[in-house]
């Protein structure tokens, strides 16, 4: 495998049981994603974007074929090892932010580092850095309920990137944001992609996101309909 | 990590304060209900013990064999020494002598001729001795007319008997009976008051006399048909049985038919069967109560787990493994169950202890009742009361959380992730 390859899928197929029959969510997906890419999985609802994102994030495994993520075949990973991989190498950003409401901004961002059992001062430095990247260092002590939607999503980004993962998976990250906040968020992620070399994969059908993508993979009915590089 | 989780637990009232409140209230009610039922059984025991059996009773061996006939010719003698010995050896109990007797009550007219007459049964009590008989039998509140005997030769008779004999307070009543030695006994008393006993047999024709007067009348100097003993503040069967066994072991070698023999409350009037029945009913009630409380607390644990599914999903996505999430849920519920059960047990025990010591006076509620029962209702704390609420409180909270968390293990991560609406 090319050292530059972050993700490789071969004939990746995912079927879900639907009563007596099966629904094919992904059908023979062959894909190679390199480090530092800024990719969008685009397509209508039910096209398989989230299913592919779940498999790439080791939350699910293929029915047939293989998905090798960061050198690990997802089908062979135990629950414990896939959790470890997510903890160390993969960050998630969700449509609805999913911040823990009883914790402060600082504590939300600190949480992934606690799972890594890092020391307090190291955690502090990393959290402060992450909050600076997203421009929320001054809101460290705020609770999510005291923030706007855009700020919440920036906290979610900080939480995803605080551990400096190789890969960030974002499922419709701008769906709940207005245009201004969407652009702000996308710019933040674009900067992080450039400065930290983090690979971003979005599942989206938001036109605003598409404008920022370097590569667009269009899914239709569980298959890759188009895979094109948009920016060099 | 533990500190982080603890912080969340303390800040989120839905996860900490409210479940702890529910568990505390449930456990407190369970503890209190148990002590209340125990107190009720104790009250039944007390009612029987007060009027007849005592918590423990000493009679002569022959008297015990024929006690239904109240054979005073077989009464215990040397009572003063025996009482003193009992009070010295077993000071935790109140000991008091009683004489049951029967005879004819004769009400004379102004000329001293019989105006009316009736057979009657009587109980002689040590009204003003250290045994506390007046308070025990609630005699003051059972008075219909008149007052308690103050002077020698004064008696109380049932109100029904007084009406039948057409007599009143202040009249003379002559007891015609037989002495301890079989001779005829005739003794004049003055009626100081009338009573309503609340028990048909006694209301038909009974009297209460001071034991010193009846000893004089029946020639029973230093004698009594029975000595009854009472535990304070509550009846403890195990203690009573060991006192009985120890006392009787001292007299097993004695063939004398007048040798003292001790009978416990359970040995008399079929009370053993009754107590077993009452304890079974109480056990069933407590079981149902604890069962219901467990379901409520289980449900609290379940709801607590389910409402955190969103948080669990995020934690899984961030990289916490299923086992870690599950363990932290169980640990949190154990902490909540422990805190709630501890607080509930302490509150329940404190309330039960307070009512056990102080009692609740229901005298006003029994204004028209003249039953010879205590106006004071008491709870009773037993060894079981200490853990009857704690264990189900802790277990049901933890089990509820464990059950809610099983979904984490049963489902594929992605499926769970979807269900968690992340």
The residue that leads in pLDDT, A131 or B277, is A131
pLDDT at B148: 92
pLDDT at B417: 58
The residue among B370, B375, B374 whose CA lies nearest residue B159 is B370
ipTM confidence? 0.82
Which residues of chain B from 383 to 412 reach within 8 Å of chain A, CB to CB?
A: 412
Give B-chain residues touching A83 at CB under 8 angstroms.
316, 319-322, 324
Residue contact A114–B4, C-beta within 8 A: yes
| pLDDT tens profile A19-28 | 888 889 999 9
Question: Which tokens in the block code for residue B256?
Answer: 């004398």
Three-state DSSP class for residue A29: strand
Q: Which residue of A has its CA nearest to B3?
A: A114
Residue B53 DSSP symbol: I
Whether B413 has its CB under 8 Å from any CB of chain A: the answer is: yes
Residue contact B319–A115, C-beta within 8 A: yes
Give A-chain residues touching B311 at CB under 8 angstroms.
100
Residue of B5, B315, B317 best to disrupt the A interface, most CBs of A under 10 A: B317
| pLDDT tens profile B369-378 | 444 455 567 8
| pLDDT tens profile A136-152 | 899 999 999 999 888 99
Give B-chain residues touching A82 at CB under 8 angstroms.
413
pLDDT at B285: 75
Residue contact B317–A92, C-beta within 8 A: yes
Tell me the shortest Cα–Cα distance from A228 to chain B, in angstroms: 28
Does A167 score more than 50 pLDDT? yes
Which residues of chain B from 314 to 333 reach within 8 Å of chain A, CB to CB?
A: 314-324
Distance of CA A78 to the CA centre of its chain: 21
Give A-chain residues touching B11 at CB under 8 angstroms.
102-103
Residue contact A107–B321, C-beta within 8 A: no
pLDDT at B372: 46
Q: What is the mean pLDDT of chain A?
A: 89
Residue contact B322–A83, C-beta within 8 A: yes
pLDDT at B395: 87
Whether A111 has its CB under 8 Å from any CB of chain B: the answer is: yes
pLDDT at B28: 93
| pLDDT tens profile B60-82 | 999 998 888 889 999 999 999 99
Closest partner CB to A59 (pick from B7, B310, B417): B417
Distance CA A92, CA A165 (A): 10
pLDDT at B411: 62
Which residues does chain B have with pLDDT short of 50?
367, 369-372, 420, 422
Distance CA A188, CA B189 (A): 108
CA dihedral B230, B234, B236, B239 (to 10 degrees): -50
pLDDT at A232: 59
Contacts of B395 (CB under 8 A, 6+ apart): B294, B337
Tell me the shortest Cα–Cα distance from B319 to chain A, in angstroms: 4
Q: Which residue of A has its CA nearest to B1?
A: A114
Per-residue pLDDT, averaged over A6-35, amounts to: 90
Neighbour-count burial of A90, counting CB atoms closer than 10 A to its CB (0-12 exposed, 13-18 middle, 19+ buried) = buried
Tell me the shortest Cα–Cα distance from B416 to chain A, in angstroms: 9
Give A-chain residues touching B412 at CB under 8 angstroms.
60
Under 8 Å between Cβ of B65 and B378: no
Residue of B414, B416, B420, B421 best to disrupt the A interface, most CBs of A under 10 A: B414
Distance CA B134, CA A58 (A): 82
Distance CA B319, CA B317 (A): 5
Closest partner CB to B11 (pick from A83, A92, A102): A102
CB pairs under 8 A between A and B: 74
Residue of A69, A70, A98 best to disrupt the B interface, most CBs of B under 10 A: A98
Residue contact B320–A98, C-beta within 8 A: no
């Amino acid at each position: 495998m090319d050292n530059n390859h972050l993700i490789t899928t071969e004939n990746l197929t995912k079927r879900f049981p639907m009563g007596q029959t099966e629904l094919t969510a992904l059908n023979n997906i062959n894909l190679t994603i390199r480090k530092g890419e800024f990719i969008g999985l685009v397509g209508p609802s039910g096209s398989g974007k989230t299913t592919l994102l779940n498999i790439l994030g080791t939350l699910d495994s293929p029915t047939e074929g293989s998905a090798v993520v960061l050198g690990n075949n997802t089908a062979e990973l135990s629950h414990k090892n896939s959790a470890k991989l997510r903890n160390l190498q993969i960050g998630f950003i969700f449509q609805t932010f999913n911040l823990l409401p009883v914790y402060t901004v600082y504590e939300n961002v600190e949480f992934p580092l606690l799972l890594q059992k890092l020391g307090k001062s190291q955690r502090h430095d990393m959290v402060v850095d992450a909050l600076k990247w997203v421009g929320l260092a001054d809101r460290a002590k705020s609770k999510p309920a005291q923030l706007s939607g855009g700020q919440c999503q920036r906290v979610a980004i900080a939480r995803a990137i605080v551990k400096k993962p190789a890969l960030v998976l974002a499922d419709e990250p701008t769906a709940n944001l207005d245009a201004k906040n969407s652009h702000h968020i996308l710019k933040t992620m674009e900067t992080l992609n450039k400065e930290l070399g983090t690979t971003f994969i979005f599942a989206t059908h938001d036109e605003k996101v598409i404008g920022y993508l370097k590569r667009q993979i269009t899914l239709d009915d569980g298959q890759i309909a188009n895979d094109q590089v948009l920016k060099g | 990590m533990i500190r982080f989780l603890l912080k969340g637990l303390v800040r989120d009232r839905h996860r900490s304060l409210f479940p702890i409140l529910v568990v505390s209230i449930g456990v407190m009610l369970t503890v209190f209900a148990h002590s209340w039922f125990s107190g009720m059984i104790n009250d039944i025991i007390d009612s029987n013990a007060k009027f007849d059996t005592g918590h423990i009773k000493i009679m002569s061996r022959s008297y015990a064999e024929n006690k239904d006939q109240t054979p005073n010719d077989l009464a215990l003698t040397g009572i003063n020494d025996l009482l003193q010995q009992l009070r010295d050896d077993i000071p935790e109990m109140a000991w008091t002598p009683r004489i049951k007797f029967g005879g004819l009550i004769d009400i004379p007219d102004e000329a001293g001729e019989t105006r009316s007459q009736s057979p009657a049964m009587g109980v002689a009590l040590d009204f003003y001795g250290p045994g506390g008989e007046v308070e025990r039998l609630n005699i003051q509140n059972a008075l219909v007319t008149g007052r308690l005997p103050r002077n020698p030769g004064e008696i109380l008779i049932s109100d029904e008997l007084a009406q039948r004999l057409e007599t009143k307070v202040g009249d003379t009543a002559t007891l015609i009976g037989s002495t301890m030695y079989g001779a005829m006994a005739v003794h004049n008393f003055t009626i100081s008051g009338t009573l309503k006993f609340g028990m048909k047999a006694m209301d038909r024709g009974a009297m209460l006399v001071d034991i010193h007067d009846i000893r004089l009348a029946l020639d029973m100097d230093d004698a009594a048909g029975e000595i009854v003993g009472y535990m304070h503040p509550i009846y403890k069967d195990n203690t009573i049985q060991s006192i009985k066994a120890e006392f009787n072991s001292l007299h097993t070698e004695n063939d004398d038919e007048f040798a003292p023999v001790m009978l416990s409350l359970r040995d008399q009037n079929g009370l053993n069967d009754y107590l077993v029945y009452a304890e079974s009913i109480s056990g069933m009630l407590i079981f149902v109560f604890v069962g219901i409380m467990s379901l409520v607390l289980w449900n609290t644990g379940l709801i607590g787990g389910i409402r955190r599914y969103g948080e669990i999903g995020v934690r899984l996505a961030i990289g916490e493994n299923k086992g870690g999430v599950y363990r932290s849920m169980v640990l949190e519920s154990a902490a909540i169950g422990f805190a709630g059960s501890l607080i509930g047990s302490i509150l329940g025990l404190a309330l039960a202890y307070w009512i056990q010591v102080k009692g609740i006076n229901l005298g006003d509620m029994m204004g028209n009742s003249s039953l010879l029962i205590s106006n004071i209702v008491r709870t009773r704390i037993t060894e079981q009361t200490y853990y009857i609420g704690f264990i189900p409180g802790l277990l049901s909270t933890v089990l509820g959380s464990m059950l809610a968390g099983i979904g984490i293990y049963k489902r594929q991560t992605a499926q769970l992730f979807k269900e968690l609406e992340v």
